[in-house]
Amino acid sequence: MPGYNHYSDCTCGWCVKTRGRSTPKSVIRAFLAERDAERLLNENGANRYPSSCFVIPNATCPVCGAVVYFYSNSNGSRVFFDDLGPPWPKHPCTDNPKKNIHISENSYPKIVPRLRGIKSELIEAATTLGILQKGINQTPGEIWRLLIIEKIDRMGWKNQIVGRVLDDEREILVSFNFTSSKELVHVGDFLSISFTMVSIVDPAALSEKKYKLFDLIVEKNL
């Protein structure tokens, strides 16, 4: 009876969509792994962008209900991001000056990284579904790593940063520096680095800025 009286974990040919034919165990295992991975990502709001495997989305779009990141700063700027990391895409529903959408800074909790245990499970699930290569957040032509800043020393225009890599289960620490005429980042902010560049959100314009990266030191090779 295809489609009737079957348990959700049934591995018959109809439930794994092979139309009742004899199903190899490898196909059944792959199907179940993908189904469970998709369910885990959906339950944790991590099914849209790689960054959501590493950082908990802290908001939902008031227009379409999508899981997003709400960001605000001391300048009074407020914005919803779809993803953390280059090119820092703003959520299109609310990135429209013609729409009068009130966004209260106190409506959403602070953006925080996921705990290591669930993060490992989500990385594994996203890897199973091909959403990301394990531990690597990629944009075309570059490999970027998502970091949270743990320490900053600013000397003149030089920003000396110590950050923790979030898109790696080892959560390794890295240090590097870049120069900017203004103080743009603070402890607890998120940024991305490649081997040569730093990508941040400009706190005034709320758009991406890139700077040359210098003196990158890591505990282990990325």
pLDDT tens string 40-88 = 999 998 887 888 999 999 998 888 888 999 988 777 778 899 999 999 9
Average pLDDT over residues 100-107: 60
Give the model's confidence band at 1: pLDDT under 50 very low, under 70 low, under 90 confident, else very high.
very low
Given its phi and psi angles, is residue 178 left (phi above 0), alpha (psi -120 to 50 degrees) or beta? beta
141-175 per-position pLDDT tens digit: 578 999 999 999 999 999 999 999 998 778 899 99
Angle 213-161-143 from CA coordinates, rounded to 5°: 45
The answer to whether the beta carbons of residues 126 and 46 sit under 8 Å apart is: yes
The reported pTM is 0.77
The answer to whether the beta carbons of residues 200 and 159 sit under 8 Å apart is: no
Give the model's confidence band at 16: pLDDT under 50 very low, under 70 low, under 90 confident, else very high.
low
Nearest to 201 by CA among 213, 188, 212, 210: 210
Please give the backbone phi and psi of residue 28, each rounded to the nearest 5 degrees, phi first: -65, -45
167 CB neighbour count, 10 Å cutoff = 27
User: In this structure, are strands 78-81 and 67-72 parallel, antiparallel, or unpaired?
Assistant: antiparallel
Class of residue 86 by CB neighbours under 10 A (exposed 0-12, middle 13-18, buried 19+): buried
Question: Cβ neighbours of residue 65 under 8 Å, at least 6 residues apart?
Answer: none
